[in-house]
Amino acid sequence: MEYVNPEGLRLDGRRPMEMRQIRAEIGVVSRADGSASFEMGNTKVIAAVYGPREVQNRSQQINDQALVRCEYSMANFSTGDRRRKNKGDRRSTEISLVIRQTMEACILTHLMPRSQIDIFVQVLQADGGTRSACINAATLALADAGIPMRDLVTSCSAGYLNSTPLLDLNYLEDSAGGPDVTVGILPKLDKVTLLQMDAKLPIDTFETVMQLAVEGCKAVESYIREILLENTKKLEIRRGA
């Protein structure tokens, strides 16, 4: 199948190095301590953060740092064909773990010993790149909750199809069987915190694909900062009024 046509356009009309439209909103779940929604094209996720609060299960308490927990769930209507999935299947457990580890790396857990931070991500629509969208939403939600972090983590995926590196794969491109590189970075510290790839890729191509994904992460970061700034300004106005 042709994923990039001779004019250099992809199935959804994007250019190879073009991201889908991203949109974010802070404070979508009013009862949570922090929450955000994040959209990348047709992928839409909501993240809610509860905490830092008392550890619910005493045996899990860590005496010198905070306990970070994460649960990823997909809505029944999120995918193209309806599937009933039980909670805690392998895929969602794996993604929960990935998100937890990525977020734990940037939260200053040592400042909140004997406490617990819960991150819940809910996929409303899945169209490829849910992993990245979840991490981006979780970052915003953590920032909204005022949890101290080293840096914002942002994530983006890239792939390689028809000998062209492609940024931000959608579901069709993701299921094409080509390599899918998901990268999460701490943009200010310039560090990679998450790197996942399936399928194989020659090393020199990998470098360009990975570089592309990192560029994507940076674009997401500047957008997230804009949203956070806007939100802070709104808070400031409300406080002044």
Partner 1 sequence: MVGLSIGEKNFIKGGIAQDMRNDGRKRLTYRPIYVETGVIPQANGSARIKLGPTDVIAGVKAELGKPSQAHPDQGKIYIHVDCSPTAEPSFEGRGGEELSAELTAALEGCLLGGKSGAGAGIDPSSLSIKEGKVCWDLYIDCLVISSGGNLLDALGAAIKAALSNTGIPRVQVREAASSDEQADVDVSDEEFLQFDTSGIPVIVTLIKVGRHYIVDATSEEESLMNSAVSISVNRQGLVCGLTKRGGIGLDPSVILDMISVAKHVSEQLINKLDSEIEAAEKAHEDEP
Q: Which residues bind partner 1 (CB under 8 A)?
A: 28-32, 35, 42, 46-48, 50, 56, 69, 71, 73, 75-82, 84, 87-88, 118, 120-122, 124-125, 127
Residue number, 171 or 223, with CB nearest to partner 1: 171
Residue number, 84 or 239, with CB nearest to partner 1: 84
| Spatial contact of 144 and 49, defined as CB atoms under 8 Å apart | yes
What is the closest distance, in whole angstroms, from the C-beta atom of residue 95 to partner 1 in the complex?
Answer: 14
3-state SS, the chain, equals CCCECCCCCECCCCCCCCCCCEEEEECCCCCCCEEEEEEECCEEEEEEEEEEEECCCHHHCCCCCCEEEEEEEECCCCCCCCCCCCCCCHHHHHHHHHHHHHHHHHECHHHCCCEEEEEEEEEEECCCCHHHHHHHHHHHHHHHCCCCECCCCEEEEEEEECCEEEECCCHHHHCCCCCEEEEEEECCCCEEEEEEEECCCCHHHHHHHHHHHHHHHHHHHHHHHHHHHHHHHHHHHHHHC
What is the closest distance, in whole angstroms, from the C-beta atom of residue 17 to partner 1 in the complex?
Answer: 25
Residue number, 77 or 240, with CB nearest to partner 1: 77
Residue number, 63 or 86, with CB nearest to partner 1: 86
What is the closest distance, in whole angstroms, from the C-beta atom of residue 240 to partner 1 in the complex?
Answer: 25
Residue number, 127 or 180, with CB nearest to partner 1: 127
What is the closest distance, in whole angstroms, from the C-beta atom of residue 188 to partner 1 in the complex?
Answer: 28
What is the closest distance, in whole angstroms, from the C-beta atom of residue 197 to partner 1 in the complex?
Answer: 27
Residue number, 5 or 56, with CB nearest to partner 1: 56
What is the closest distance, in whole angstroms, from the C-beta atom of residue 71 to partner 1 in the complex?
Answer: 5
